[in-house]
Amino acid sequence: MSLSFTKMHGLGNDFVVIDARQNDPALDTATIRHLCDRRFGIGCDQLVLLTVPTLDGADVHVRFFNPDGSEAGACGNASRCVAKFVGGTPTLQTAAGLLPTIRDGDLFTINMGVPRLDWQDVPLSQACDTLHLPLHDAAACSMGNPHATIFGDTSRAEGLGAGLEQDALFPERANIGFAQILSPTHMRLRVWERGAGLTLACGSGACAAVVNAVRRGLTERTCTVTMDGGDLRITWRADGHVLMTGPAATVFHGTTA
């Protein structure tokens, strides 16, 4: 099966974008894994499938797939790439809800919605204070996908990420962020992504880290998040919505054999 695709990235977090709005290829798990493979396929942190929206007010329906074939509910960096791909200021229909976008030159702002803070909504496997989990004193929330943030040394990401992603506390697995607070308006962050491993950047992880830092009184509600691939600006507005601002880049277009 020959597929046209576009390779894109947001701060080095890279994606294979397939526009299926006119012809849906109905990709199965094995095909997704093959396309995401960096040696035998195209290679990416996530595959992004665009289809016709089914909700009023949406311009495109977006689905995000991890390299292991599992589906993610949200991806901030990929959402900016989709906004660039579609053009204008589209509203994205995702499993996490409708995500409006704003464009300012080369920067894209995605309204990532309202974080969910109750333990059932993360979700966790047992009742816990989501601000202080019994697991490395992490803080947890959902940005449409489950996140836990550990504050302190970001170098622990390689050693702890894989095990914590699959800890029994997270029945749907979790994205694990390792955050170092540099100032009330600046943090350093590395994220072990569920189903993808350590990536250069994670948009929803940056949102979760700022939400969790604000809840603990560690940062202000607008914060620059520096990741291995670059910076995002995150604002947790007074109305509860989280805005994520950063760049998106097109790398190349191609067709599979």
Contact 22, 52 (CB under 8 A): no
**Residue 194 assigned ligand-binding role:** yes
**Residue 180 assigned ligand-binding role:** no
The helix/strand/coil state of 76 is: helix
**Residue 212 assigned ligand-binding role:** no
**Residue 126 assigned ligand-binding role:** no
Q: How far apart are CA 57 and CA 146, in angstroms?
A: 26
**Residue 13 assigned ligand-binding role:** yes
Taking CB atoms within 8 Å and a gap of at least 24, the contacts of 58-63 are 58/91, 58/92, 58/93, 58/98, 59/86, 59/88, 59/90, 59/91, 59/92, 60/21, 60/86, 60/90, 60/92, 60/93, 61/92, 61/93, 61/94, 62/92, 62/93, 62/94, 63/94, 63/95
Tell me the residue length of the chain: 257
**Residue 166 assigned ligand-binding role:** no
DSSP label of 117: -
**Residue 66 assigned ligand-binding role:** yes
**Residue 111 assigned ligand-binding role:** no
Indicate the pairing of strand 242-247 with strand 107-111.
Answer: antiparallel
Q: How far apart are CA 25 and CA 256, in angstroms?
A: 13
Alpha-carbon distances, residue 105 vs 11, 90, 155 (angstroms): 16, 15, 34
Q: Report, as residue numbers or ranges, the catalytic residues.
A: 75, 202
Which residue reads 């955050």 in tokens?
Answer: 179
**Residue 203 assigned ligand-binding role:** yes
- Residues of each annotated binding site for substrate: 13, 46, 66, 76-77, 145, 175, 193-194, 203-204
- Residues of each annotated binding site: 13, 46, 66, 76-77, 145, 175, 193-194, 203-204
